[in-house]
Every structure is written in structure tokens, then in C-alpha cells.
Chains A and B, each alone.
Chain A
Amino acid sequence: MRRLTGHDEGEINRILSREDEILPSSGFAVSVMDAVRREAAAPPPIPFPWKRALPGLVVGGFVLAMVFVTVVAVSVQLIRSATSGHFSISLPPWLTPILGLQRNLEIAAGWTVLALLVTFVSVKLSMRLGSRRA
């Protein structure tokens, strides 16, 4: 890349400093003030009901954490099973009494993986379609 000379810089300065000014349209200020008055007249936004939502959020967070732990545990076992050639999955001992999912866990894991895949594909597809329309 050739270095910028004083002449180049002067030229760029001269060209870009010489911008045509545009004038606001005649109704611009009135239109802004209308919008400002509407804004001022609008009722204040309803605050988020944190007190009511808190129990639900706590339960939701707990469930999410459990699901995360389960998925990690199952994934680790799946990887181990794949390397050893023997397919078997069991939940962490402290988790099984809570969820009671020991039976048919392999099937459940399969369905979970399938559901995640379908969700991933549909999200990607809809984002792609959405970006094409935008």
C-alpha cells in the first residue's frame, strides 16, 4: 500500500469537507413535537412483576440445571460406551431417586438427541429464511 502523502490528505480533506447541507423539511419540528407529546402522554411502562415471577424463575432455573447435569452425564456415558463398544447408560446415583428415569433411559436419550437435532435444524432454517426476507 502506498503511503499517504500530504497532497493526498489535502485532497481528501478538501473533498470531504465540501459537503452539501440539506435543510429540514418544513414540518419536521412539528412532527418531532407531536411524537414527543405522544411519548409524554403515554402511560409509563408496566414494570416486570418480579415478585410473581420469582418462584417460577427459581423452579425453571432448577429444572434447567437438572437437565444440564443429566445431559452432561448422559453424554459422558455415551462417549465412554462408544469407545468401549458396550452401550449402557445410568444416571448419577443422586439423580435417579429424583427423576426416576433409570428405566428405558437409552430410549429417552435417543429421543432427546433427536428432539435437539430437530430443534436445531428448524431454528437454523427459520433464521436462514428470515435473513433472506429482510
Chain B
Amino acid sequence: MSANDDQADVERVLAGDISAFEGIVRRWQGPLINLAYRFCRDRGRAEEMAQEAFLRAFRALGQWRKDAVFSTWLFALATNLYRSELRRIPARMLSLTVSLDDIPEPRDARASDGGVEDQDRDLAVRRAVGALPAKYRETLILFYFHDMDITSTARSLGLPEGTVKARLFRGREILRSKLPQLLAVPRLKEA
């Protein structure tokens, strides 16, 4: 994915060639849908949210100042939309939104093979992330979406890096406190 391609397409769109926007859509559809999916855990809804993000980007294309890379601007716009969309939807409509106390522990944390089933553990942790307070959930989602890059996460959220680090720390601590048995077990299978 080239920043130059993005810039060229944006300039063509702003000059009146709407079809050039398709290049932007095709380059960024995967990341935007996947980011939306991590927020809502519903494929259909993720595509709707990504489509709305592209539409908003199209409307606001003239506001992109080229001091930031196009993708950074696009992700910040999409993140804002996804956050507000999810806060607008009643909590009970979201499959990921469960109370932290309702998340079951995996069947046996010290199973005979030396560890819990990976899938159970991963599912429990992801559901726990979905049940975190919004500010920690959003920060964790974006941090892992951006391959654990604090700078990109901070830019997407429009927050200082220090705030992002603090929210990551606090979010992980809540996860740890809610899933103590789960995370305390060393993964013997990998040892």
C-alpha cells in the first residue's frame, strides 16, 4: 500500500474524478472492515460501519491535510465513527458486551495436559476485553490492531501516548483481575 497512490487518488477525486475513490476503497477495505469487526464482532455490521467510514472519508476528503499520512487520517476518522456507533447502540444489542462477572472461567485451568484449551482461553480473554469499560476496550482494540504500536494507537484515538500507555496498563490489570486463574497458568505446552 503506497502513500503516493493514496495521495494521487485523493487529488483525482478532489479534481472531480469520483471513480478514483475506488482505489482507496480497494486498498483500505480489509483494514477498515477488520478494525470495525474488532469493535463489534459482527461481520455484517462491520461492513456497514466500514462503508459508512468510507462515505465520511469521501465527504471530508478536502479536509485531509497532507501533514499526516492518508492512512493515519483515515484510521482516525474510522475510529471516531466506530466508537460513536458502538456507544449509540444499546449494550444488550452487542454480542461482545457482557458483564465481566458473567464471563466463565475455562473448564479446568490445570488440565492434565498442563494447560487450558487455547481456544477457551483466547475466547474468554477476548470476551473480557469486550466487557471492559469503553475507554480501555477501545485502547486495547486499537493497540493490538496496530501491531502493538503506541504511536499509531495514540494517533487513531487522538490522545497523548502517555494516556494510551496508562489505559493499556489499567485495561490489562482489569483483565488480569477478572481472569486470574486463566492468566496465572504457565503455558507448559510451549515450554
Contacts and interface: CB of A to CB of B under 8 A. Distances in A.
Q: Are chains A and B native binding partners rather than an unrelated pairing?
A: yes
Interface of A: 1-4, 7-9, 11-13, 15-19, 21-25, 28-29, 31-33, 35-37, 39-40, 134
Given A9-B172, A18-B122, A32-B55, 14 more contacts: A1-B176, A2-B176, A3-B173, A4-B173, A8-B176, A12-B183, A13-B144, A15-B121, A24-B30, A25-B47, A29-B26, A35-B51, A36-B21, A36-B55
Interface of A is mostly: helix
- Residue of A13, A25, A28 most packed against chain B (CB within 10 A): A28
Interface in B1-49: 18-19, 21-22, 25-26, 29-30, 33-34, 37-38, 43, 46-47
B29 A28 contact: yes
Nearest to B21: A36
B25 A22 contact: no
Contact of B172 (A12, A33, A39): A12
B86 to A, nearest CB: 15
B177 interface: yes
Interface residues of B, number: 43
Interface of B: 18-19, 21-22, 25-26, 29-30, 33-34, 37-38, 43, 46-47, 50-51, 54-55, 58-59, 90, 121-122, 125-126, 129, 140, 144-145, 147-148, 169, 172-173, 175-177, 180, 183-184, 186-187
Contacts of B33: 22, 24, 28
26 contacts: A1-B173, A2-B176, A2-B180, A4-B169, A4-B172, A7-B183, A9-B172, A11-B183, A12-B175, A13-B144, A16-B126, A16-B140, A16-B144, A19-B145, A21-B34, A22-B34, A22-B46, A23-B30, A24-B30, A24-B33, A35-B55, A36-B18, A36-B58, A37-B18, A39-B58, A40-B18
